[in-house]
Structure 1
C-alpha cells in the first residue's frame, strides 16, 4: 500500500467530515471597529486563545483536527472553520458559562482564557460575542462590565525529577542549588544528613527527586524539598540498556494501552 494512497484516504475522510465554524465578533463602544484596525498581534492572540480553549493541553493540540481562520467585516469577525464536533464543544462550554454565570466548572487553562478575554474587553472597551454555526444567537457575550472570577487552583503539588549541575550546598538553613537547562537555577530544601551523606556533590552533574509545587500558569517550580539524589552519569551503556529493556519487556507487554498508562504516571521528568 503506497504512502500516496494512505494520504489520499486521510484527506478523503477529513473532507467528508461535516464542517462548521466558530465566530468571535468584536465591536467597540462607538461601533467604529473594522478588520483594518486589528493589529496582527491581536489576531495572533485570538487564534492562539481559541485553539487553547478547545484543546487546552499539549497532547490535544498535537492531535487536533485541521483549523482555518479568516477575519471579516461586521465590526471584526474572527472566524474559525473546523469539524462540527469542535463547534459543538465550543457551543456547549460557552453556553454553560452563560447559563451558570461563572467559570467554576472549567479547568485552569480555559478559565484563564476567558479571564484574558474579559481583561481585553475592559482595556479596549470591547464587546466580544461568541457565535457559531449551530446556534441562532450568541452563546456568550463578554464586554467591559463582565466580571467572571477565577477560582481554579494556580498550582499543583507533585514529585519531580530534576537534572543538572549542583553548584552550591549547605548553609544555615540546609539547601542545595542546582542549574537546570529548562528552569535555570533552583533552590531545594534539604536536611544536613542528605547533604553530608556520600561524596561531595558540588560542581557535579546529578539527578534529584524532589517534591513541590508547579504553577499552572507559567510552569515554574516552588517550595521544593529534596527526596533523594540520583547519580547522573551521561555515558551510554548499550549492554545495560539491553538488559533493562529485556527485564522490563515482560511487564510492558501486559500494558494494553501504552498512551493511557503514560498519562496516568504521577511524576514529571524535567
Structure 2
C-alpha cells in the first residue's frame, strides 16, 4: 500500500473566534469539492483518483484530507509554486478558478486561509484579504463541434436555428437564409449539424455558434444484406447450449 499523508486547509477569521461548529455544511461541501478539483481537475482523473478521507478539527477550522503521498507531493509543489511566483499563470483553468474562489472567500468573509501538508512544517501558501493573484487563463476556446438533436425552430429576421440537444439543452445557431431554405423543411426533425463556435471552460456551454453544414442520418434497410449476416452468424449461434447464460456473460463483459 502506498505511503499516506495529509493536506490541511486551516481557516481563521479576523478575531480568531472561528471553530468547526461555525462552518456550515455547504461550506464543508465546497472545501471538499474544491480540493478534489485542485488535485484532480478533469473527469478522468477524478474517476481514477485514490481514496481520500476527510476530517475537520479544532484550531480555528482545520479541513484535513488524508490521501496517498504522491497527491501530497503534488499539492505541496503547486501551492509552493503559487507562493514563489505570486501568480496563477502556470496553472490550468480549473486550478486557477479554485485559487480565485479561495481569494474571493477570504475577502468576503475576512478569512485567512493557510495551505499546509504533512511534508512541510510551515504553510506552503497563505491567502487572506490582501491576496490578489490574477487569473489570466482564457475562459473559453474556439473550435468546430458536431451536434445532434431536434430542430424546433428556424428562420427569423436574423436567420438562425434553434435545436434541442441532450447534452447542451436548447441552443441557438446562426445561419444564412440559403442554408435554412436549402432542401426540405427541417423543423421537428432530428439532425446532426457541424458548427463553429466557442465552448465555456467552466460550465462547458456553447455560444456564438455558426452553422457550417447539416448532417442528416438516413439509414437504408438492406434485407438481402441482413439475411446474409444472420445466416453467417447462425453457424456459431447454433453451438450455444444455454442462450441465457451466454447473454448474461456478454452483458457482464460489457459493463
Specify the TM-score bucket, using the shorter chain as the normaliser.
0.7 to 0.9
Alignment map for 1:143-222 (pairs within 5 Å): 143-222=128-207
What corresponds to 2:109 in structure 1? 124
What corresponds to 2:84 in structure 1? 99
DSSP 3-state at the match of 1:147? coil
What corresponds to 2:238 in structure 1? none
Provide TM-score, normalisation by structure 2: 0.84
Alignment map for 1:27-46 (pairs within 5 Å): 27-46=12-31
DSSP 3-state at the match of 2:119? coil
- RMSD over aligned CA atoms reads 2.1
DSSP 3-state at the match of 2:135? coil
Bigger Rg, which one:
2
* CA distance 1:236–1:104, change in 2 (3 Å): farther
- Give the Cα separation in 1 of the matches to 2:100 and 2:179: 43
CA contact (8 A) 1:130 1:141 kept: yes
What corresponds to 1:138 in structure 2? 123
Runs of 4+ in 1 over 3 A off after TM superposition: 232-240
- Give the Cα separation in 1 of the matches to 2:132 and 2:146: 39
Provide TM-score, normalisation by structure 1: 0.79
Corresponding residue to 2:38 among 53, 59, 77: 53
Matched, 1:76 2:84: no
Residue ranges of structure 2 left out of the alignment (5+ in a row): 230-255
